[in-house]
Each structure stands twice: as C-alpha cells, then as structure tokens.
C-alpha cells in the first residue's frame, strides 16, 4: 500500500478546478484505508495552496482564455507627452489589488517599450545593462498565452499556449490580474562578465526595467508590484527555459481595483 505522502502528492490543478486525493486517518472495518477525492473550483488559488503545490512540484499553468496568436504585432509606442518625471516619481508605489480589465494593445505596447524597448539607433534600450549585454528577456504572461517581447521588432512572439499568470507568483492576486511580466537572464550573452558577477549584474538590470514599469504605470494611472517571492523552477519549466537562463523577478501590472 502507498503511503499517505504518496497519495497526498497526487494533487492536480485542471483548469480552474483543484483536485486533491487524501487519506482518511481511520481505517475501515476491513482494514482498508478509504481514499477521499475532493474536487472544487478555484478561480483564484490561495497562497497556501500555491505553496503546497510548489513544494510538490505541481504548480501548473491554466488553459488559455481564447486562442493564442503565434505573434502579436504591437502598435507604435507613444513616446511623447505624458506626466512630468518628478510627478511620476511622487506617485510611484506598489499595489496588490488589480481590476480584471485587460490592458488595451496600445497601452501594452507603450508599457513594454518604456520597460525595455529600443530608444535610439544601434538597438540601445530604455534600461541599462552591463557592457550592453542586454541579457534580460521580458516574458509577457497574458490570459491568451505567454509571449516573449521582441524589442527590436516591437512584437510579442508566442512561447507557450497556456495561461501562466498563476505560475508567476505565490501571491493569489496574480491569477486574475491582466498582465504579469517575468524577467529572465540569459547568461549566454554575458561572456565578458565574470561568472561570479553575472547574477548580480543581471539582477540590477532587471531592477532598472521594473522601475521603468513603475514610472510608466504611475504616469497613466496603472498599478504594479515587483515580486521576488516566486517559484523560479515552476516558471522556468513552464517557459521551457534552458540551464543558461535564470528567472529573476516577476511584476504584475493592471488597472486599480475599484
């Protein structure tokens, strides 16, 4: 007979339904231990449930909402106007309550450009990187799928036809917020940086990108929060990352909850 631990580990998330197999502590008259099957709908999974699934290596994406396009051509970003910098700095804050409203494509386009877009000839970016290695990739988790932001082409390229928002963090609000960004370092681009310094350099670059997102969000009335408490292995598996890539941070963005 399998142990209680074995049976407890047979827990699954199927779409919005959480299925857990568990053992009753008291054996029946015939000596058999009854198996209880619990099934309930969890559109927004709690932090504790995510932690338990993460510990078992079973934190999984959800099916997409709608059809995932292979590529999304982003409209030209709005590079002029906007809130004065000092005012945006005064409004910069972290928020953990988000409306379910999806971001319009023009807003998403300008947000990604502000985060890590190309802002001058030669492919230079809106955020710095050591030796201009540009080692950070920005993955975009939407209800319709997970995409890689191609800053040069200014488009999104499909990576996974799954809704990865739930996997991007242990916090419960990430399940329903319209957008989660995942910052991934590709150390293959950092050949000139000493191995012992690569993670530190990449983390600084990711921090600069996240601050760009904070300032853009403040300037147009969005809310955001950067998150380091994440299941990096689950995210890496869901995105199909290689051993040369490392998940650094996640960031949730959306409209404020009213």
pLDDT digits (tens, 9 = 90+) for 42-59: 456 777 666 666 666 656
- Alpha-carbon distance of 67 to 74, in angstroms, equals 17
Q: How confident is the model at residue 84 (pLDDT cuts 50, 70, 90)?
A: very high
Report the pLDDT value the prediction gives residue 14, as an integer from 0 to 100.
38
Residue 23 has pLDDT above 50, yes or no: no
**From residue 251, how far is each of 96, 114, 198, 245 by CA, in Å?**
11, 14, 21, 18
- 13: pLDDT confidence band, cut at 50, 70 and 90? very low
Instruction: Write the pLDDT tens digit of every residue in 190-222.
Output: 999 999 999 999 999 999 999 999 999 999 999
- List the structure tokens of 60: 């999984």
Residue 193: CB atoms within 10 A of its CB come to: 19
Cα–Cα separations (whole angstroms), residue 108 to 33, 76, 86, 231: 53, 11, 23, 25
Q: Are the beta carbons of 223 and 253 closer than 8 angstroms? A: yes
pLDDT per position as a tens digit, 138-189:
999 998 899 999 999 999 999 998 888 888 878 888 888 999 999 999 999 9
- The pLDDT score that the predictor gives to residue 56 is 63
pLDDT of 21 = 36
CB 148 within 8 A of CB 112: no
Any idea what DSSP says for residue 220? H
pLDDT surpasses 50 at 10: no
pLDDT at 59: 63
Q: How far is the first Cα of the chain from the last one, in angstroms, to the nearest whole number?
A: 52
CATH 3.90.930.12, applies to 71-254? no
Burial class (CB in 10 A: 0-12, 13-18, 19+), 25: exposed
pLDDT for 171: 84
Which of 159, 70, 152 lies closest to 118 in space, CA to CA? Answer: 152
| Inter-CA distances, 67 with 61, 148, 212, Å | 15, 17, 30
Predicted confidence (pLDDT) at residue 31 exceeds the cutoff of 80 = no
Asked which of 58-62, 237-241, 252-256 is least confident by mean pLDDT, the reply is: 58-62
Task: Indicate whether 66 pLDDT > 90.
Answer: no
What percentage of the chain reaches a pLDDT higher than 70? 74
Considering the chain, what is the average pLDDT of its residues?
Answer: 82
Strands, E, within the chain: which ranges?
Answer: 11-14, 17-23, 35-41, 71-73, 118-120, 124-125, 136-142, 145-150, 155-160, 179-186, 223-227, 245-254
| Cα Rg, the chain, nearest whole Å | 21
């Amino acid at each position: 007979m399998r142990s209680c631990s074995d049976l407890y580990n047979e827990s699954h998330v199927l779409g919005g339904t959480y299925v857990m197999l568990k053992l009753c502590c008291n054996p029946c008259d015939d000596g058999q231990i009854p198996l209880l099957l619990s099934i309930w709908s969890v559109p927004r999974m709690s932090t504790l449930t995510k932690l338990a699934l993460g510990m078992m290596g079973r934190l999984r994406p959800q099916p997409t909402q709608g059809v995932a396009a292979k590529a999304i051509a982003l409209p030209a970003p709005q590079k002029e106007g906007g809130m004065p910098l000092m005012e945006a700095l005064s409004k910069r804050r972290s928020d953990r309550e988000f409306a379910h409203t999806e971001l319009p494509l023009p807003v998403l386009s300008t947000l990604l450009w502000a985060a890590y877009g190309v802002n001058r000839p030669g492919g230079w970016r809106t955020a710095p990187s050591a030796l201009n290695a540009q080692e950070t990739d920005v993955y975009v988790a939407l209800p319709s799928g997970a995409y890689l932001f191609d800053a040069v082409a200014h488009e999104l390229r499909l990576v996974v036809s799954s809704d990865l928002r739930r996997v991007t963090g242990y916090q419960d609000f990430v399940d329903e917020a319209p957008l989660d960004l995942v910052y991934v370092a590709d150390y293959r681009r950092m050949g000139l940086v000493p191995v012992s310094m690569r993670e530190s350099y990449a983390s600084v670059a990711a921090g600069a990108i996240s601050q760009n997102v904070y300032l853009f969000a403040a300037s147009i009335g969005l809310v955001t929060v950067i998150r380091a408490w994440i299941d990096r292995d689950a995210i890496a598996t869901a995105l199909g990352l290689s051993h040369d890539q490392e998940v650094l941070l996640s960031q949730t963005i959306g409209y404020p909850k009213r």
